[in-house]
A and B are shown apart, each in its own frame.
Chain A
């Protein structure tokens, strides 16, 4: 006959018993109940079981068996559950567990160490202060210990608490790395903990990397490389992550193509793991190839895109894995056209579009970031490949997503897609995209404002007059003027670039700068006098240059803006731009002069007289031998035009 299960309350009663045997049995039962069961852990935490168990540790006279079971139960509560860690810490068990590490009974020491390792896996665990001498000594003792649980605990403490460069350095100088290398030859848990600890110590720290690789006669990397081929997938992943940290922190290690290719292949194979390792593999892959064109090329040659495609197609993945795969694909496609072509040829865009409506916000964000990378392909933008309702409708919907990171990522993708060189920009307008973008230019969040203005700037690039008119009606002249004067310099820059594009194209478009008594042009004038950021000044100069390529009225307006009658021209801010150390700013400023002195315009002579008076002509003459070829040629062009009116 099966025995009936004791109820939770019954266990709690027995936990409070003064009879050691009853108590021991109750703790065992409790431990068995909660192992791997999040719901039961939470329900026992709620019933107050944790303080009852923790009390056993405080009793110095407790039976060692009871202590072992209590420590194990507390470790179980803490394992993978922050609420459990919080309950164990609140019950005051942490210092008792530390004390028990020095107990005479090996089983007690082992149980306490295991329990503490569970706690140190959580961010809630108290930070270990490596700067206290006694703490550092204790850590070294742990790492040196023959007891596997103690040495692995030492490594767990490092993984948890080593964050800053100072902490990394103090551990290096204390000889911790050498101890960790020894652990690489130990048990599975020691190896894994050691790999993670070494990664924590060398991450972004070239000095620590140098110290590490020089150990063991310069062969410290060998066991790590060996472990990247280990039979356990988690060990392989951790070994790869450790090697990636070494490689990313220092440009002189692990640079040969062989090891790079191996790392790529191992990480791609780890995708086959159906558990946590497979979920984490794309993120490790990402940290290996991010911003590195050579590695992206190697990954492409290793068929990384096909492999990711197979995984996306095969099964409905865990959101974490989906997010990782889309982010990895985003990086792969960020620079290389061959990767984008492969992505598109595999019809992966369909899977990506599905992910735009995924229930998990991180997946939606990752899908947008991936689309942003893929849509850097001018070859495809040129035929309006991305400008269709299947892509644009879900993207525009994401502009009102509750998550700001989704909105920002969607804006990033839209910024690229709207560059579209065909006449398909209307698709975006018909999908209500402009309304949403304009709305976001008024957001309180600067990243949303910036990306919305950026998208509008790209949308207006080579757009026809109707498209510009639609955008201007929605955005309003006064909003454009406000955006030019936004508190954020990056937004000022994009707003000026937007105006630069608006006044480009047919001659009529120049008039937008003069709408509502010229408040936009006034804002441009104010900003270029005020700003010290070169990028802003360059965009400002191109606004003026584009306007100055208009008719007489437009050219005269630019003259007045640059050289107001009340100011002394020789001290004009404009002359400082001609003297700038940045050749791009000098070039843009000279283009303004080229347009103001355009020979076919009737007022050119009068303007040249003025420019001469303000010292601009003599400055342009000096620039005819500028070190930058573009500046030199533009200056000579301007001089050629000026000379047609006489050189006096």
Chain B
């Protein structure tokens, strides 16, 4: 989800390191393609409390490469006439393709740890992550999936919409109930800086289009 433009955005640099030899990452059906989530992103500042309604849809998933992507729709953005849709790409922290250390987007290992520790489910992993970014952890059976979501472009509005997608989200997905928590991080935005306001928290729940249960569409690229 975009945030207000405040400072110049930064350019992403290198991809994280990778290693091999881990058990392959298991799919979680609730994080499959076509799945939808809805909730809010808290964008409160010292001046006022504010939360935007947010919808997310998973559009692509490639576990082998630790890749996930989809769209994020912000519904009641004050300066926008219509809901603002962005396309994001996600890095799954599978310790094979990506570790807990971002290694780019101006996020230092300290920034990483500061954000990951906001998730309760991260605490058992903390010790090892401090040592090697979690490279030696086997998360294939861990009931939480940690990711970084980086918005890539605006789908339905121009870049002159007064919003920025320069930052990225630290995300934690619960495989049990399909809930998603996330924290937005943009080193150049004072809105995401700790000294000015709390972390911008994203909270989403799995949705089912008003059905009495869960439905799973699918496509297969050739």
Contact = CB atoms under 8 A, between A and B. Distances in A.
A634 interface: yes
Which residue, of A372, A375, A545, A601, has the highest number of chain B Cβ atoms within 10 A? A545
Contacts of A507: 209-211
A462 interface: yes
B209 to A, nearest CB: 6
A507 B209 CA distance: 8
Contacts of B211: 507, 549-550
Contacts of A462: 34, 57, 217
A472 interface: no
Contacts of A550: 211-213
Interface in A128-186: none
B222 A637 contact: no
A462 B218 CA distance: 9
Contacts of B59: 378, 381-382, 421
A412 B222 contact: yes
23 contacts: A372-B222, A378-B60, A382-B71, A382-B87, A416-B221, A419-B221, A421-B57, A422-B155, A457-B219, A458-B219, A462-B57, A501-B217, A501-B218, A501-B219, A505-B215, A507-B210, A545-B215, A548-B213, A549-B213, A549-B214, A550-B213, A591-B29, A628-B26
Given A415-B222, A421-B71, A454-B222, A630 B26 contact: yes
Interface in A507-533: 507
Interface of A: 372, 375-376, 378-379, 381-383, 412-413, 415-416, 419, 421-422, 451, 454, 457-458, 461-462, 497, 500-501, 503-507, 542, 545-546, 548-551, 555, 584, 587, 591, 594-595, 598, 600-601, 628-630, 633-634, 636-637
A546 B216 contact: yes
A630 B216 contact: no
A283 B125 CA distance: 49
Most buried by B among A379, A413, A422: A379
Contacts of B143: 629, 633
Contacts of A630: 26-29, 175
Contacts of B27: 584, 630
Nearest to B61: A378
Nearest to B68: A378
B213 A458 contact: no
Given A378-B59, A633-B175, A633-B176, 14 more contacts: A412-B222, A454-B222, A458-B220, A461-B34, A500-B217, A501-B217, A503-B215, A504-B217, A542-B216, A594-B213, A598-B213, A600-B212, A629-B28, A629-B141
B208 interface: yes
A453 to B, nearest CB: 12
A584 B140 CA distance: 16
A634 B209 CA distance: 20
B216 A500 contact: yes
Contacts of A551: 212
B89 interface: yes
B77 interface: no
B121 interface: no
